[in-house]
């Protein structure tokens, strides 16, 4: 696919925040987006825009969240009023010559990723999983000491994630939306706060909501990305969660689609969800009896206090019946989402 066709397809991505605006604001949104795509220095929002001046910031936010391909649009802007006319004066992160080349580079990168990751006959779930896994394998989270890109805002964008392969949460979220837009799968960027993994520190955060088979799910590629402790890890802890599940460590305020379905949660869909301790004991005995190297599962046993201590006790009670000289194991545990990874070593 050539860049022109790619750009046309990306421009038709899912525009959730546009859909939440009233008719005058939608007209102003269209005027703003058209001008930004042409790198206009000033954009006339009237006669479309007849509301209040402070709504310009709401429009900028909606355009940026709905359209990750306009990665070069800064949140800062100026405006002027001439009679009844309101002129929006955008700020761009790069000059026109650089932008034209970078846009082609981004769209070529999107095409290459999608063409290599997506095969014929794949379901929307499979496409989402493949693109999620591409991101967490290939994009590094930009730690404080790495925020040296020029301009630094680029790590918040799809360009930073997909071309430079270095981004913060906003870059991960915009990149996943851009890739899913390319596949025709509805996806929006959600902004709010999250507790950092293994921490009580609350930080600003961004993630996605995706529509799979007419049901919405939360997906957070940033928190699924490998950690510095073990860069080979591939997590799906935050792949297609309900509102109730993700609210354990995420907060959001804007009105977004409700997420209540569980069918396409990674652990449910892959058959890795355990609902009670008796089933878990059966799984442990099967894994140990067959000398499986590992066991990964999500525990959804209601009010149970399943944790590392309880799981260690269950493993200790189950292995000696198999006649092994010894068995050692190590556990990693997402306490908030109740996801366990057990690595076994047999003697």
What integer pLDDT is reported at residue 199 of this predicted model? 77
- CA-based nearest residue to 209, from 261, 140, 272, 167: 261
Q: Is 152 helix (H, G, I), strand (E, B) or coil?
A: helix
Q: How far apart are CA 76 and CA 2, in angstroms?
A: 32
CB 66 within 8 A of CB 17: yes
CB 56 within 8 A of CB 77: yes
**Residue whose entry in the numeric block shows the structure tokens 């525990």:** 299
What integer pLDDT is reported at residue 304 of this predicted model? 66
Q: Which residues share a beta bridge with 286? A: none
Residues 6 or more apart in contact with residue 314 via CB below 8 angstroms: 277, 280, 281, 284
What integer pLDDT is reported at residue 123 of this predicted model? 97
Other C-beta atoms closer than 10 Å to the C-beta of 109 total: 20
Q: How far apart are CA 267 and CA 171, in angstroms?
A: 25
pTM of the predicted model over 0.95: no
Q: Which residues share a beta bridge with 281? A: none
DSSP for 237-304, please give it.
Answer: TTEEE-HHHHTTTEEE-S--------TTSHHHHTT-EE-SHHHHHHHHHHHHHTT-SEEEEEE--TT-
Q: How far apart are CA 278 and CA 165, in angstroms?
A: 44
User: Which parts of the chain sit beneath pLDDT 50?
Assistant: 1-11, 145
What integer pLDDT is reported at residue 1 of this predicted model? 33
What integer pLDDT is reported at residue 145 of this predicted model? 46
- Written as six digits, the tokens of 108 are 């070529």
Residue positions counted in the chain: 347
Q: Is 76 helix (H, G, I), strand (E, B) or coil?
A: strand
3-state helix, strand, coil in the chain (%, to 5): 40, 25, 35
């Amino acid at each position: 696919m050539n860049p022109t066709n790619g750009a046309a397809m990306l421009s038709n991505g899912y525009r959730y925040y546009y859909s939440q605006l009233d008719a005058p604001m939608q007209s102003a949104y269209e005027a703003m987006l058209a001008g930004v795509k042409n790198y206009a220095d000033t954009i006339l929002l009237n006669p479309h825009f007849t509301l209040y001046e402070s709504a310009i910031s709401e429009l900028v936010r909606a355009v940026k969240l709905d359209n990750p391909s306009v990665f070069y649009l800064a949140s800062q802007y100026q405006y002027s009023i001439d009679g009844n006319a309101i002129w929006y004066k955008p700020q761009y992160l790069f000059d026109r010559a650089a932008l034209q080349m970078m846009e082609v580079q981004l769209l070529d990168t999107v095409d290459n990723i999608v063409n290599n990751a997506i095969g014929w006959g794949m379901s929307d779930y499979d496409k989402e999983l493949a693109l999620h896994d591409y991101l967490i394998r290939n994009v590094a989270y930009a730690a404080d000491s790495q925020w040296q890109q020029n301009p630094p805002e680029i790590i918040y964008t799809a360009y930073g994630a997909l071309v430079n392969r270095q981004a913060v949460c906003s870059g991960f979220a915009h990149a996943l939306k851009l890739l899913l837009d390319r596949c025709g799968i509805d996806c929006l960027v959600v902004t709010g706060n999250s507790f950092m993994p293994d921490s009580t520190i609350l930080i600003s955060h961004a993630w996605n909501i995706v529509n799979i088979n007419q049901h919405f799910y939360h997906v957070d590629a940033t928190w699924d990305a490998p950690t510095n402790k073990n860069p080979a890890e591939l997590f799906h802890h935050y792949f297609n969660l309900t509102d109730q599940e993700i609210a354990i460590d995420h907060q959001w305020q804007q009105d977004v689609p409700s997420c209540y379905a569980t069918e396409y949660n990674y652990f449910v869909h892959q058959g890795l969800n355990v609902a009670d301790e008796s089933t878990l004991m059966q799984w442990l005995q099967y894994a140990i009896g067959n000398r499986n190297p590992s066991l990964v599962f999500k525990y959804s046993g209601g009010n149970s206090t399943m944790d590392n201590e309880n799981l260690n006790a269950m493993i200790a009670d189950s292995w000696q019946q198999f006649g092994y000289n010894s068995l050692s194991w190590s556990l990693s545990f997402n306490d908030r989402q109740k996801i366990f990874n057990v690595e076994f070593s047999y003697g």
